[in-house]
Amino acid sequence: MTISLFIEQIINGLIIGSMYALVGSGIALIYGTMRVLNLAHGEFYMLGGYLVFLLVVTCGVPAYLAIPIALLAAFLLGALIQRITIHYLLQREGWAFSTIAVTLGLSIFLQNSALLLFGENVQSVPYYVTGIVEFAGIRIPMQRLLILGVAILTIAVMTYVLKATRLGWAIRATSQDRDAAAVVGIPASRIYLITFGIAAALGAIAAAMMAPIYAITPWSGLPILFKGFVVVILGGLGSFPGAIVGGLLLGVVEAVGVQLTSTEWRDVIAFALMIAVIWVRPWGLFGSKS
Amino acid sequence: MFQPLRPWQWLLVAITLAALAVLPLLSSNSYVLHVLILSMIFGIFASAWNLVTGFAGLKTFGHHAFFGIGAYSSALVALHSGLSPWLTIWIAALIATVAGLFIGLPILRIRSMPHVAIVTLGFAEIVRITISNLQSITRGELGLWGIPPFESFTLPVLGEMKFSPADKAGYYYLILVLLVFSTGLITLLMRSKSGLALVAMRDAEDAAESLGVNLTRHKLLVFGVSAFLVGLAGAFFGHYIGILTPSAAVGPDLMILVIAMALVGGLGTLSGPLAGALVLTCVVELLRDLNDLRLLIYGAIIVIVVMFLPKGLATLGPIVRRRFTYLRAPTTSPAKHL
């Protein structure tokens, strides 16, 4: 294998990894603020993909309009799901397990609703941009560069929101200490609702960008959920920056691993990496022990 | 941890067992037997999952790995070594135990529930993908077929025990014995000192440790026993069904089914998972025509049970009774019943 091909694979790994990072950061946000492990997160990705498909292919809406609409819809869906299930469970005893169980049930329910609504056919969306960029023998399709650009933009916006807006302060305050935040007038329930919506929208962005490359099926959420879990374990569960770095790292490790073995073993590599990290550093590669 | 059974409860257990034992003599309908055999396989699976999750409080989501390991080990050993399935199911259960201890080790160090859930899920995915990729050994999704059935033998009173698709009575009695064995083992374990330690570990890990409960030993013990029983159920399943595919024997659907059973029956109770397994297996059979809706309904059942019946169907009884007594005698204080 030539060096340029190898570099090409690494760059592809980074690009796919940036999408893992978006999905993982949604899981991390939800866990970070309300200590809920969302097993239905992959379904936000899957439904996001279908929303974009319906808007772009079925209704003929241009992609630059369709994607924001899909994001908004995903936000509302996420918030709705939080309000009718997690919201009530958090007020009860044993919520740590009951929220995991309920999101598992939701995941199966949404997956099979999608199967009923859209059928089991594999769907895809045409490329948003065409063309190939060539530099020093390395060839990268424009579509993939667009993915990377959108990921960087999304992460920048999210970082700004979390660090420099009142909403972001409220989210971070609630995640640090719910009761103390409530004392200064931050309504935890509303913050939870918004966080869930944002996390769902992050999943939908990833889905919208991946739709032209990866097929959309009712089952496309599950593998990406597992990837998201690996990402948050690598980065430390509940850490937003950790999830970003974890996602990029996973993308590169997978790209190199697939070069060394074959595509069928891609997921085994990811999970083995995760179990190894849990064994050595249960608090994540970048988190602190406390 | 359980109260000793009262006489009427002993009677109930005896009647249930007697009814299950004479059933094949009354009805030779192989479809009824098939549904009951599946219920009992899942009953063992759900009870063993409940042992780890409901009693010991280690919330794992990867027990289907042990089912698949049990099923494939027993089938492959029987196919290649020519050993009798009567022997290989125990070998397979031991292999599953080793796998359980192996995955138990990283879990020991983690106290956070989400981490445990993710690690066990990931482990099961590794097992599933590995089985499906090793096509030269397992034939992958094409299916491993030609798994030898159990050998027939003759019993003094009951006559010949046959193990064939047409005559399921042999399978029925064997799985009934395995179910009694597994329920007995779980009951003995939970009634021992270790059982108390497990429940203490679930309810207050730090407090249990400070009182001298060896967390490492108990977590490994419970994981080993549970993996053993699930592996045994898986091994039986392989020889009973006769064909194994990774999606049927190690698929996440299997775990979802078992979680739904334990939740519906009531987590952390002895009879709950057994009742849940029977109810949901029958529901699946009734919904056979609505195959597309099957998993949709499961998802909905899990959500509804978690939201409205957090302790499973067992709590439905008291709720109904309370309503009822309330209407009849509003002055009755609930404290009287405690």
pLDDT tens, residue by residue, A53-71:
999 988 888 888 989 999 9
Residue whose entry in the numeric block shows the structure tokens 């594999």: A122
Measured over the CA atoms of residue B231, residue B235, residue B241 and residue B246, the dihedral's sign is positive
- The domain ranges of chain A are 3-280
Residue range B14-43, pLDDT digits in tens: 888 888 887 877 776 778 888 889 999 999
Whole-angstrom CA distances from A248 to A18, A254, B33, B234 are: 6, 10, 53, 38
User: Does B152 score more than 90 pLDDT?
Assistant: no
For the record, the structure tokens of A137 come out as: 């023998």
- The domain ranges of chain B are 27-251
pLDDT for residue B318: 64
Contact A226 B295 (CB under 8 A): no
How many angstroms separate the CA of residue B318 from the nearest CA in chain A?
19
CA–CA gap between residue B132 and residue B146 (Å, rounded): 18
For the record, the structure tokens of B95 come out as: 């292999």
Residue whose entry in the numeric block shows the structure tokens 């022997």: B87
CA–CA gap between residue B310 and residue B304 (Å, rounded): 9
B110 vs A94, A229, A282: nearest CB: A282
**Among chain B residues, CA nearest to A89:** B307
CA–CA gap between residue A113 and residue A105 (Å, rounded): 12
Residue range A252-284, pLDDT digits in tens: 988 888 888 877 888 888 888 888 888 787 777
B256 touches chain A (CB under 8 A): yes
Structural contact between residues B95 and B70, judged by C-beta atoms closer than 8 angstroms: yes
Structural contact between residues A233 and A282, judged by C-beta atoms closer than 8 angstroms: no
Taking contacts as CB-CB distances below 8 angstroms, the residues of chain A near B130 are 268
How far, in whole angstroms, is CA A234 from its chain's centroid? 14
Structural contact between residues B233 and B71, judged by C-beta atoms closer than 8 angstroms: no
B134 touches chain A (CB under 8 A): no
Residues in chain B: 338
Residue range B307-329, pLDDT digits in tens: 888 777 766 666 666 655 554 54
- The beta-strand segments (E) located in chain B are 144-145, 153-155, 159-161, 243-244
CA–CA gap between residue B276 and residue B46 (Å, rounded): 8
User: Does A176 score more than 90 pLDDT?
Assistant: no
CA atoms within 13 A of residue A128's CA, in its CB half-sphere? 23
CATH topology of domain A3-280: ABC transporter involved in vitamin B12 uptake, BtuC (1.10.3470)
Residue range A2-59, pLDDT digits in tens: 787 888 888 888 999 999 999 999 999 999 888 888 999 999 999 999 999 999 988 8
**Could you tell me which of A23, A28, A19, A36 has the C-alpha nearest to residue A240?**
A28
Helix (H, G, I), strand (E, B) or coil at B3: coil
Mean pLDDT, chain A, whole residue set: 88
B254, containing H or E segment: helix B252-265
**Among chain A residues, CA nearest to B123:** A271
For residue B293, what is the DSSP state? G
Burial zone of B81 (CB within 10 Å; 0-12 exposed, 13-18 middle, 19+ buried): exposed
pLDDT for residue A125: 86
For the record, the structure tokens of A161 come out as: 């929101």
Residue whose entry in the numeric block shows the structure tokens 């192996």: B102
pLDDT for residue B319: 63
pLDDT for residue B40: 93
